[in-house]
Structure 1
Amino acid sequence: MTGAPEIALSITRREGTGRPVLFLHGLASRARLDWPDAEWDPVLADRPAVRVDLPAHGDSPAVGALSTSGVVDLLARAVATACSGEEIDVVGYSLGARLAWALAGHPGLSVRRVVLGGLSPMEPFALVDLPAARAALAGGPAPADPITGMILGMATLPGNRPEALLDLIEGLASQPFDPAVGAPTQSVLLVGGADDPMAQGIDALAAAVPDSRVVRVPGDHLAAPHAPEFRAAVAEFLAED
């Protein structure tokens, strides 16, 4: 795992029995917000739960404009330390799903099943006008581009570090998500909210994955991961041999 800097991410493990489940949250959030114990403890039963704050999120440090492969290496190193050679299942949402796509094939990990929620087949970060976003942060006019405005709005939510998040977006955009490259070879569950435009392309993503299925649940991009139907689909999928 040579592509990652020597930076320690914030990672917690709730002990239990059986195969650990790794949870990767979305942009401008953090592990405890996207994967609260009250929602996921009943799903996991006694299985170990591993939750990571992604770089520049929550209690994890900023990493500057690190490329996607560098971020994935950083994640893999943290997870390998927390799981010590164990086979794991991975559940990612939005940005977490984008990273889980690549993490599934990382040589430093053994991944059995992958859940990809709220994943877009396109690379939204490449569309962000970073100079306009940074100018707005410095007190300039709001970005005219709606995607940039949306991302900036998420980055500036209370508790976030907007400058660090924009740096992260710059690094991820330098190595865009491409469904034609590195598709997971494991069994994959693709989950999208019925009212989430970002997830409307998950059928196309499924076509790129040899062993996949698609489930749609109620809600938009923010509500879908907290829907009971989302948790039920994940529980059923992870319970399979």
Structure 2
Amino acid sequence: MANSPIEPQYFDSFDGQRIAWREMGPRDGGAHAVVLIHGFFSDAETNWIRYGHAAAIAAKGFRVIMPDLRGHGSSARPHDPAAYPPDALARDGLALIAHLGLTDYDLGGYSLGARTTCRMLATGADPRRVVFSGMGLDGLIAADRRGGHFRNILTNLGKHERNSPEWFAEAFLKTTGGDPQALLGVIDTFVSTPIEQIERFDWPTLCVNGADDDDNGSAAALADALPHARYVEVPGNHMSAVVKPELGQAIADFLAA
């Protein structure tokens, strides 16, 4: 766990929206960079830093770069629908890589961060290695299904049955201080990726998923669809796997191999 907060840095993305990112690990020229993207309703601090995942990866000598998605965390949270065109999150990710001048890097994400990683790969990113975490095949090829689930959560706040998946998601939203109106805009950015394109992804890939997590479909099926993928199971479901040290360790071991 980090002892003190990591202050964000900022840049202006493709449309002028201010995007925040945080870093951990060495920043000398010899350190290999890895860009890690958090999930929906979350942020870099919650997803990667709080439970030690970034520290585990940095301990292997990596420069860990963790943006806050638009509409989340320390990044801009505009309410104008025009700020959420399709693939805006992927365009932000590509703009960050260009801003930092990264030419040799790894790329990965958890849940929506994994879908954003997929869209970045589909639109020009060329990392050394890829990590899909908290993501199954259905979550990439049928993004609308999860979009509908989250739209229902955000438009019916305070009405969800106690202990239902929707209720837990709303509780998580409160802990991260999420902005419901901005997050509804984020849903409009979701884009599905055809299975034929995923089957052509030629990067060495880790698919790491909670043993009880099928929120985005089967991660094993995603690994089977990819030409060079390894599937690793860690304890937990979609909400709990991200707090387990096994998640960060699996990513660190894969990137360092």
Query: Shorter-chain-normalised TM-score: which range?
Result: 0.7 to 0.9
Give the corresponding residue for 1:112.
Answer: 128
CA 1:181–1:211: 2 relative to 1, 3 Å:
same
C-alpha distance after superposition, 1:21-73 (max 9, x if no partner): 11101111110111117443233223211110011000111355524423211
Partner of 1:40: 54
Structure 1 residue 220: Cα displacement: 1.2
Q: CA deviation at 1:9?
A: 0.7
Q: Which residue of 2 aligns with 1:163?
A: 181
Q: How many residues align?
A: 229
Percent identical pairs in the alignment equals 26
Shift, 1:210, TM fit: 1.1
CA separation of 1:24/1:133 partners in 2, compared to 1, >3 Å: closer, same or farther?
A: closer
Moved more, 223-232 or 53-62: 223-232
Code of the residue aligned with 2:34 in structure 1: it is V
Residues in 2 aligned to 1:234 and 1:158: alpha-carbon distance in whole angstroms: 24
CA distance in 2 between counterparts of 1:193 and 1:132 reads 22
Partner of 1:58: 73
SS at match of 2:40: coil
Shift of 1:223: 2.0
Show CA shifts across 1:61-109 (max 9, x none). Answer: 1355524423211221022212x133111121001011111223443x4
Q: Distance in 2 between matches of 1:31 and 1:92?
A: 10
Change (3 A) 1:101 1:171: closer
TM-score (norm 2): 0.76
Q: Once the 2 structures are TM-superposed, how far is the Cα of residue 202 of structure 1 from its aligned partner? A: 1.2
Matches of 1:233 and 1:129 in 2, distance apart?
28
Q: What TM-score do you get using the length of structure 1 for normalisation? A: 0.81
Unpaired runs of at least 5, structure 1: none
* Structure 2: runs of 5 or more not aligned: 1-12
Deviates more, 1:61-70 or 1:197-206: 61-70
1:117 offset after TM fit, Å? Answer: 0.6
Taking structure 1 as reference, are residues 19 and 110 closer, same or farther at Cα in structure 2, changes over 3 Å only?
farther
8 Å contact from structure 1 (residues 130, 166) kept in 2: yes
For 2:233 and 2:181, the matched residues in 1 are separated by 34
